Amino acid sequence: MAFFQAGGLVVALWDRASLAADSGVSDGGGWAGITLAHNVASPEGVDTVLAEAERAGATIARAAGETFWGGYSGIFVDPDGHPWEIAYNPHWTLNEDGSVTLPG
């Protein structure tokens, strides 16, 4: 996995099979190989956004929980089939305007 700062965004590259497995999607040709992520300021924020998404018709693909990288995240799949990770990463800076800054 590699991370790149792109202005106020972070682009992460994974191998396709690992990303599909982590995102809770089947890679049978219809999935574009992309999962979008939205970073929030706390683990509670992850829970809130996932609950809002589910109420709006999304399917929870991976329930929120602690991650191997020391954060907290979960994934929903929207009604159009696109996976979204909602994440709290204590190692990244989440700025007031919503932009994200990688460490050092």
The predicted-structure confidence for 60-82, as pLDDT tens digits, reads as follows: 999 999 999 999 999 999 999 89
pLDDT digits (tens, 9 = 90+) for 88-104: 999 999 999 999 999 98
Q: Per-residue confidence at 26, pLDDT binned at 50, 70, 90?
A: confident
Domains of the chain: residue spans and CATH: 2-101 (3.10.180.10)
DSSP assignment of the chain: -EEEEETTEEEEE--HHHHHHHHT---SSSS-S--EEEE-SSHHHHHHHHHHHHHTT-EEEEEEEE-TTS-EEEEEE-TTS-EEEEEE-TTSEE-TTS-EE---
Sole residue written with tokens 């994440």: 87
Return mean pLDDT, the chain.
94
The tens digit of pLDDT for each residue in 5-25 reads 999 999 999 999 999 999 999
